[in-house]
Amino acid sequence: METFFKNREFRWITISDWVSAFGDAIFFMAYMAFASTLDNSALAISLVTLSESIPDFTSFLTGYFCDRTKEKYKADIFCAFVRAILYIIVSCFFANSMGWVGFLIVLTINLISDILGNYSDNLRFPEIYAVVPNEEYESSAGFSMAIYYTIKICARMIGGAILIFLKYNYSLMAVLNAVTFIICGLSLLAPRKSVEQKMQQSEQHVEYREKRNIIGAFKCIFQSAKYRKVLYGFISTKCTTVSFLPIIYIMLANSRQINVDQYTLIVSLINAFPTIGIIAGNLFNKKLLGNFKLSSVLMMKLLCGCVLIVFALQGNYFFMVPTLAMLYFVHGVSAVRMNKFFVDEQKYENLGFSIGVTNTLLTLIPAIFLSAIMIVVNMTDPTVTFAFLLMFSVVNTIYIYFGRKEFD
């Protein structure tokens, strides 16, 4: 938090991130509402949901181009204003009666904007690397991410209220989103000279080798055994973390001791605590777990998962909910530590690509793992699945314990 108030460059870059998150969130609510008005609304909503996840799978590509962008900060500013123009175009489509053809055009424009946003996110790593001292990076990133998640949550609620207030004027919602990106661009322009100067200073210490193709770039980042081991540690712990909530929902739905009202209340609580945990983990990671090494944080995350499984199997919801909050608190801490690790481990010239590859794998593999888990749950029983997750967690805890030197 101190860095935010005393570091002018970091403050403006972070504000730009927050405003962008707000704009994206309110437009998402409007877009989903519009999709629900179309014929075959289920397909329309599915396409919107799918399009929102595609940019996460392209992170390695946007990261690759990020590393090959010479004037990164100018590119970031340019992207903000281009995205504003794109949503002005979207507002024109919404202003006219729009059926499925118009919806698909807007879907494409929104997807292009999200991919540009993903590219900008990758550009932020070398920017922050240049303007924030290494010893302040972890606390600064944690504070920024905590506010980012809070804004995302609040904006979705506010977005619904704004949409109702505007009497479902989707065109105005698109204009409002365009305005947020103009503010983003102006926020980035404010410290432009000093940021570019510091980025140039950072790049002076970098020895650029001949530019590799994308296959060569993959080989470069994966040649580090430490990177491979730590990446597996993060992926395996995330696989278990994302699997818990869907299985718990199924167990609750199958329980004869819980009626519909109780189910709704418990699910609401379960949904709230992970969010609170992630925000708190990002915000207080340095103060509460600052002395814990990376391996200890990951093992603590797996241990919380094991305890959660025990409570879930017992049907002890009183202890299950706070354990879930603790699990996601540690998950939030590990996310900050992960970014710090990869920023330290990878060379500056490969920073965007390595972060992009990491984010793509952290999205893709847990999604595949969760799909497999859901198949197993439906074919067998939640108890069997929890038993598998318990063994999986124990094996990974042993793996991290014996490889802790690589992690720390």
Mean pLDDT to the nearest integer, 233-259? 82
Q: For tokens 């009497």, name the residue.
A: 167
pLDDT score for 113: 94
Give the other-Cβ count within 10 Å of 19's Cβ: 21
The Cα-based distances of 176 to 3, 21, 154 in angstroms read 30, 13, 16
Mean pLDDT to the nearest integer, 225-232? 85
pLDDT score for 204: 67
pLDDT score for 206: 57
Helix (H) or strand (E) holding 138: helix 137-165
Mean pLDDT to the nearest integer, 294-312? 89
Instruction: Please tell me the distance from the alpha carbon of residue 147 to that of residue 284, in angstroms, as a whole number.
Output: 12
What is the per-residue pLDDT across 129-156, written as a single tens digit (0 to 9) for each? 888 887 888 788 888 888 888 888 888 7
pLDDT score for 309: 87
Domains and CATH numbers, the chain: 2-205 (1.20.1250.20), 215-407 (1.20.1250.20)
pLDDT score for 82: 96
pLDDT score for 40: 85
Average pLDDT, the chain: 85
pLDDT score for 76: 94
pLDDT score for 348: 67
Picking from 294, 331, 298, the residue whose alpha carbon sits closest to that of residue 408 is: 294
Give the other-Cβ count within 10 Å of 70's Cβ: 7
Instruction: Please tell me the distance from the alpha carbon of residue 189 to that of residue 81, in angstroms, as a whole number.
Output: 11
DSSP for 284-340, written as a single string: HHHHHHTTS-HHHHHHHHHHHHHHHHHHHHHT-HHHHHHHHHHHHHHHHHHHHHHHH
Two tokens at 191? 């410290």
pLDDT at 285 over 80: no
**37 by DSSP, 3-state: which?**
coil
CA atoms within 13 A on the CB side of 64: 16
The Cα-based distances of 314 to 237, 249, 263, 298 in angstroms read 23, 15, 17, 25
Mean pLDDT to the nearest integer, 218-246? 85
DSSP for 139-169, written as a single string: HHHHHHHHHHHHHHHHHHHHHHHHHHHTTS-
pLDDT at 243 over 90: no
Instruction: Please tell me the distance from the alpha carbon of residue 320 to that of residue 247, in angstroms, as a whole number.
Output: 13
Mean pLDDT to the nearest integer, 15-37? 89
**Confidence band (pLDDT; 50, 70, 90) for 346?**
low
Mean pLDDT to the nearest integer, 384-406? 88
- The more confidently predicted of residues 293 and 202 is 293
Residue 267's contacts (CB-CB under 8 Å, 6 or more residues apart) are 249, 252
Residue 159's contacts (CB-CB under 8 Å, 6 or more residues apart) are 25, 26, 27, 28, 29, 30, 173
